[in-house]
Structure 1
Amino acid sequence: MTALHKPEALIWDIPGGIHPAERKELSNRTPIQPAPLPMRLIVPLNQHIGAAAEPLVAVGERVLKGQLIAAANGFVSVPVHAPTSGTVSVIGPQPYPHVSGMLAPAIVIDSDGLEQWCELSPCVDYRSLEPSLVLQRIRQAGIGGLGGAGFPTAVKLTARPTQKIHTLVINGTECEPYITADDLLMRERASALVSGIEILAHLIQPDQVLIGIEDNKPEAIAAVQAAIGERPFSVRVFPTKYPSGGEKQLIQILTGVEVPSGGLPADIGMLCQNVGTCVAIHDAVILGKPLISRITTLTGEALARPMNVEVLLGTPVGELLEFAGLDQGKLNRLIMGGPMMGFTLPDFAVPLIKTTNCLLASTAAELPAPPPAMPCIRCGECAEACPASLLPQQLHFFAIGQEHEQLKAHNLFDCIECGACAYVCPSSIPLVQYYR
């Protein structure tokens, strides 16, 4: 493992990784804008990993902004809140952001335009509360991880009692091309971010807090360092490389320690949280606000005004694209997420959900279709690019042959689906699709 010398701290490298064109300058030059209030909000009951929430409202009922409208269904689940005030018009299958185009259960709210909040219960003095009560506030606010798959945050914080969490890692990496939502959030909401980190540190009592940010975000780095002040949190800056933002990859970069195959960071006493999740924790505990909006990047060359917006969950994607000046004639593919790990959206009617960090409206020239796949030439490029030190070409052959035991033996479950292998493949084999 090579250590790259940094004056403030030691940084390690990860195996593999790639350097695709960043394209961040499209959307990171303007402040975060408020997105327009839609007439209808489609609020899916499942915007996270785990069980869908159970509706608590009826069609025709008036709801207030921030009101609980669906309860968590089991331990691995999160509740859902009304993003604005209005009337419940539908409870049932609605368009959902998934590559299949299938419908999913949702609550539809017809906005009344008043943005009338329900009563909130802020708690500035959270340190006087039992940690379990602070955790309960996070759970009740409907927070799932805002950086990746959307794992319920309170579940992640209920760490195994067998292992103390000694290192809290805050992920401000945002390594995927085009996406700048976390960059702008760190620049503009650094004090709320630090407040959220303090709440996490109060709950977990770690020995150290490490904040990882790639070196292509100088404004964010400066803002976070200024907000930290004298607090004992360490900002670690490291060279830009994809996929440094993977949870296990970031832990390796910041500590030099590898999460064991098939294991979780908690197994080695570490916990990772995204910067957006930290701000949501601040909003939930200090302000008493549930998670009903998020910062999302609107980008791509088919948009006249790429930018980052703070947008209500449930806002139809088409309305956001219109706000950013979509040229339908230029649009080739609409991707939710980035070009490496995102997926093509079936239509514009789908709502924005808690895990939507980016909408990429790309032209054909910008993200051309890959050429037809050719046979594997066993060049080994994919293995060199793999950040999890897997053997992608072997996994590819096992996947074609449905050899599930061999896939398991070759650690398929350590694959983070980053797409680095497919990106470098000279035969244009869509390797990640086989693993999925």
Structure 2
Amino acid sequence: DKKFTFPPLNPETITPDEIRQRVAEAGIVGQGGAAFPTYVKLSPPKDKIIDVVILNGCECEPYLTRDYRFMLERPDELISGLKLIMKALGVKRGIIGIEDNKPEAIKILSHKVEYEDGIEVISLKTKYPQGAEKMLIKAVTGKEVPPGKLPMDVGAVIQNIGTAIAIHDAVVKGEPLTIAALTVSGLGIRNPKNLYVPVGTPIQNVIDYCGDVTEDSVKIIVGGPMMGVAQYDLHAPVMKATSGILVLTEKEVSENVETPCLRCGQCVDACPLNLMPTKLARYTQLKRYEDADGIGIAVCMECGTCAFTCPANIPLVQWIRLGKQKVLQMKKERAAK
């Protein structure tokens, strides 16, 4: 529990290299859930020309309101963090993309950036999965990231709202990332809250702090309901990118019986990346990992839209996730030979 801080740095005089070094030393990772090292995102290859930084203020998963509270309560630190990201990348244009179901956040931040050169707030249509990097880039800039490519291939870098604030805190306050901001919600928790929680805190402690679960609670998920992971051991710790702890009741969880695929194509229509989820899942079941790789299993972002729309209740995301792991393992074994 010892508190450690770095010497604060002046955001006006700090150099791009100093920003990257501080971000690395502070252990900052992406707050959107993937926990990708932020230092790496701020260090693109020399041949990649970045022309825009986009802050993801969509928070499109149900229940989660952590980023929304950040936008309402810490707008100045948010903009400071965005400027530091832009400075580290040598970029003159910054965009904060916010879904239109958060009008108060749009209003506050639009007012704050009114006199900021090169920074704007864009209101986006509320839809899932708007917050996914490739979806957000298309909505904000009109550019499409090719399959298998990264946002930097179209000149964009995406950062989460919480990541920008963590960068501000690391540079201006000298605070390393040792605390996770998260939403505790769901009908199964007695006192829903948005909290700052020290990394490493057992999930059970957080639930106890919020008044414990109700008698009809049946499932606990870390993350959002679409992309989160169900928990069976509440001694598991809160991690840096833990965005939420959801306690769901029987009303919120549908445990429908899985039936054979209907070949209806609803999952194909729903996939935001134009993949064939049913085929990817089937190839995984048949252990045909080469074929799964050939039709783009590695491209899947595991948003859960396919499983949500499937009338046969097939756990498509779980199969695809397993297939991705097997494909990665297969490629590593080949590279080692």
Which residue matches 2:146? 260
Cα pair 2:4 2:176 within 8 Å, conserved: no
For 1:23-422, list aligned pairs within 5 A.
Answer: 84-85=1-2, 117-118=3-4, 120-123=6-9, 125-231=10-116, 232-369=118-255, 371-422=256-307
Q: How many residues are matched?
A: 320
SS in 2 for 1:211: strand
SS in 2 for 1:283: helix
Shift of 1:294: 2.3
What is the RMSD computed on CA atoms of the aligned residues?
Answer: 1.3
Whichever residue aligns with residue 341 of structure 1, its letter is M
Whichever residue aligns with residue 313 of structure 2, its letter is S
Question: Deviation per CA, 1:259-303, whole angstroms, max 9, x where unpaired?
Answer: 111111111211110010000000000111101112100001111
2 CA distance for matches of 1:278 and 1:241? 23
2 CA distance for matches of 1:205 and 1:250? 21
Whichever residue aligns with residue 390 of structure 1, its letter is L
Which residue matches 2:325? none
2 CA distance for matches of 1:406 and 1:228? 49
Question: Deviation per CA, 1:330-358, whole angstroms, max 9, x where unpaired?
Answer: 22111101111111112222221101100
Whichever residue aligns with residue 174 of structure 2, its letter is G
The percent of aligned pairs where both chains have the same amino acid is 40
Give 1 or 2: higher strand fraction: 1
1 CA distance for matches of 2:92 and 2:119? 10
Extract unaligned runs of 5+ from structure 1. 1-83, 86-116
Cα pair 1:177 1:339 within 8 Å, conserved: yes
Shift of 1:328: 4.6
Extract unaligned runs of 5+ from structure 2. 322-337
Whichever residue aligns with residue 285 of structure 1, its letter is V
Whichever residue aligns with residue 283 of structure 1, its letter is D
Shift of 1:118: 3.7
What is the TM-score of this pair, normalised by structure 1? 0.71
Shift of 1:325: 1.6
Shift of 1:306: 0.8
2 CA distance for matches of 1:221 and 1:338? 22
Shift of 1:408: 1.6
What is the TM-score of this pair, normalised by structure 2? 0.92
Q: Runs ≥4 in structure 1, deviation > 4 angstroms?
A: none
2 CA distance for matches of 1:173 and 1:415? 20
Shift of 1:397: 2.3
Cα pair 2:5 2:174 within 8 Å, conserved: no
2 CA distance for matches of 1:120 and 1:428? 50
Shift of 1:319: 1.6
Question: Deviation per CA, 1:42-81, whole angstroms, max 9, x where unpaired?
Answer: xxxxxxxxxxxxxxxxxxxxxxxxxxxxxxxxxxxxxxxx
Shift of 1:255: 1.2
Q: Which range is displaced more, 163-172 or 274-283?
A: 163-172
Cα pair 1:332 1:364 within 8 Å, conserved: yes
2 CA distance for matches of 1:295 and 1:397? 38
1 CA distance for matches of 2:202 and 2:81? 29
Cα pair 1:261 1:414 within 8 Å, conserved: yes
SS in 1 for 2:109: helix
Whichever residue aligns with residue 311 of structure 2, its letter is P
2 CA distance for matches of 1:130 and 1:192? 19
